[in-house]
């Protein structure tokens, strides 16, 4: 009897269970070990963070006190407090980036505006003023919290749609036109065409302006490839006070660099039948 049970137990095989999703695995690692082991939940957002932040956390000590900054990371804690004078709520926000951590102080007015977006383990951008005191770690006085998924729409001043003339097809151009028409908004569009001879032409498709939502952003990348969309980032929000100035210069792009170098060409050199879909009548 015992030998039979031993034989049966030896034949048991573990169930074929699906692997955990990366986000779930990382969350369990952080919960059990206190650190991420197999990766970081911000890795999938690294390119977007590089586009929209002004300052890396690791280099904040190099920035002057009271400078306007825009940083990004995961919200790791929200410690609610009350003011002594009038019992208004404010919060100390823990933010973890790919290259460091920092505390951000959202005082009552800023906290009231941002509280709906203060969700643990959510990637965000934080705009505010750097507070540096000798002997203390830098802190941020919060002015605005922007969920990272809203950054392309809220912080982009213009987009460049990059088209390779050798590779683009009429169906791709038609689909691109449909995407632009289906996402009207306020962000300007420039078509940056890499011509057959290697030159670059810049085309303005009439008065076309789009809503650069995450859905539009991803759809263009799926259509044109990872280099198909370049976002020019607004240096300050529209309602920002004069005192708020980002400490990073305007993000450039390959298209812009070539334009400044005198490589701008006209649409006359292009194959009109392949581009007329995106040109104004």
Q: What is the pLDDT of residues 59-74, one digit of tens each?
A: 998 899 999 999 999 9
Q: For the chain, what percent of residues have pLDDT higher than 70?
A: 71
pTM of the complete model: 0.72
Residue that has been written with the tokens 């334009």 in this structure:
259
Domains of the chain: 43-148 (2.40.50.140), 152-278 (no CATH)
Contacts of 10 (CB under 8 A, 6+ apart): none
Q: Are 61 and 138 in contact (CB under 8 A)?
A: yes
Are 122 and 146 in contact by the 8 Å Cβ rule? The answer is no
pLDDT value at residue 43: 87
d(CA 229, CA 217) in angstroms, rounded, equals: 8
For the stretch 108-161, pLDDT in tens is 999 999 999 999 999 999 999 999 887 788 999 999 999 999 999 999 999 999
Distances in whole angstroms, Cα of residue 23 to Cα of each of 20, 43, 74: 8, 11, 13
Three-state SS across 88-146?
A: CEEEEEEEEECCEEEEEEECHHHHHHHHHHCCCCCEEEEEEEEECCCCCCCEEEEEEEE
């Amino acid at each position: 009897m015992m030998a039979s049970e031993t034989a049966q137990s030896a034949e048991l095989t573990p169930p074929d269970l699906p692997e955990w999703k990366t986000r779930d695995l990382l969350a369990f690692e952080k919960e059990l070990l206190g650190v991420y082991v197999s990766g970081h939940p911000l890795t999938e957002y690294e390119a977007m963070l590089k586009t929209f932040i002004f300052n890396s956390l690791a280099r904040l000590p190099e920035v002057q006190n009271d400078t306007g900054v825009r940083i990004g990371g995961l919200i790791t804690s929200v410690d609610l407090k009350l003011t002594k004078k009038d019992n208004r709520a404010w919060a100390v926000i823990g933010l973890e980036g790919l290259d460091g951590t920092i505390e951000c102080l959202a005082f009552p007015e800023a906290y009231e505006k941002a509280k709906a977006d203060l969700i643990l383990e959510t990637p965000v951008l934080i705009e505010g003023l750097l507070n540096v005191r000798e002997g203390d770690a830098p802190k941020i006085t919060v002015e605005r919290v922007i969920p990272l998924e809203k950054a392309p729409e809220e912080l982009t001043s213009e987009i460049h749609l990059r088209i390779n003339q050798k590779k683009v097809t009429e169906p791709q151009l038609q689909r691109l036109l449909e995407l632009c028409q289906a996402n009207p908004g306020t962000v300007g569009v420039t078509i940056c065409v890499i011509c057959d001879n290697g030159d670059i032409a810049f085309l303005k498709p009439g008065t076309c302006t789009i809503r650069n939502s995450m859905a539009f952003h991803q759809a263009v990348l799926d259509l044109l490839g990872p280099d198909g969309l370049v976002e020019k980032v607004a240096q300050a929000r529209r309602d920002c006070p004069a005192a708020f100035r980002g400490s990073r210069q305007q993000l450039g792009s390959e298209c812009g660099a070539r334009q400044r170098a005198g490589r701008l060409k006209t649409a006359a050199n292009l194959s009109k039948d392949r581009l007329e879909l995106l040109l104004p009548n």
